[in-house]
Amino acid sequence: MTTQSVLSLLAAGAAGQPPVWISYLPFVGMALILWFLILRPQMQQQKAHKAKLEGIKKGDQVLTGGGFLAKVIKVEEDYVDLELGQNVRVRALKSTISDVIPPAGAKPAND
């Protein structure tokens, strides 16, 4: 075998291989899927929850992280004063509030 034929075989083999960046495409695809299916919706949920907590006002009914339904008496920067029952008042961190309950007369969102 001559040197010319060996060089032509090497050049043909190198030309037949795909570029190196193609091997990274599956990882890029998985990262995009992870972003759009898991991370992005979670960030949107956190943003909506934060907006809901910032919108709490006196008289709202809230659900605490411990499962208590309470009426908001006073709102401060990081704390809220809640009334759990008649003459039963507690102070809670805003971040421990799970949800703001709509008034009983409000129309459900799915109707």
Digit-coded pLDDT (tens) for 30-56? 999 999 999 999 999 999 999 999 999
At 96-110, the pLDDT tens digits run: 999 998 877 566 666
pLDDT band at 23 (very low <50, low <70, confident <90, very high): confident
Q: What is the mean pLDDT of residues 22-35?
A: 92
Q: How confident is residue 82, by pLDDT bands cut at 50, 70 and 90?
A: very high
Domain locations in the chain as residue ranges:
1-54, 57-111
- Its pTM surpasses 0.85: no
Q: List C-alpha distances in Å: 87 to 25, 44, 71, 92, 111.
A: 63, 38, 12, 16, 37
Average pLDDT over residues 64-78: 92
The domain made up of 57-111 has a fold known as SH3 type barrels. (2.30.30)
Determine if residue 21 is left, alpha or beta; phi over 0 gives left, psi from -120 to 50 gives alpha, anything else beta. alpha
Instruction: Provide the token pair at 81.
Output: 């004063």
